[in-house]
Amino acid sequence: MLAILNGHEEVFPRTRCVSDGRWCIFFRDGTAVWECNASYAAAHFIIEPTDQ
C-alpha cells in the first residue's frame, strides 16, 4: 500500500527487481523502468526472492 501512496503503482508490483545489495533495478518485460537504493526499496516494497 505504501508503494501506491508514494506513486509507485506504475512500477510495482508488475516488475522484477534485481539487486546487488546496494542498488535495485526494476524491470518490466526485460526493460529497466526504475532504480533506487536498496534501503529505499526495503522500506517501501515487499520484495521476495525468486529462482529466476
Instruction: For residues 1 and 19, give the distance between their C-alpha atoms in angstroms, rounded to a whole number.
Output: 22
pLDDT of residue 12: 60
Q: Is the pLDDT of residue 24 over 70?
A: yes
Query: Above pLDDT 70, what percent of the chain?
Result: 73
Domain boundaries, the chain: 2-44
Q: Is the pLDDT of residue 1 over 50?
A: no
pLDDT of residue 50: 78
Instruction: For residues 52 and 47, give the distance between their C-alpha atoms in angstroms, rounded to a whole number.
Output: 14
pLDDT of residue 19: 93
* DSSP for 1-52, written as a single string: -HHHHTT-TTTSSSSEEEE-SSEEEEEETTEEEEEEEHHHHHHH--------
User: Chain centroid to CA 26: how far?
Assistant: 5
Rounded mean pLDDT of 29-36? 90
Cell 542498488, located at residue: 23
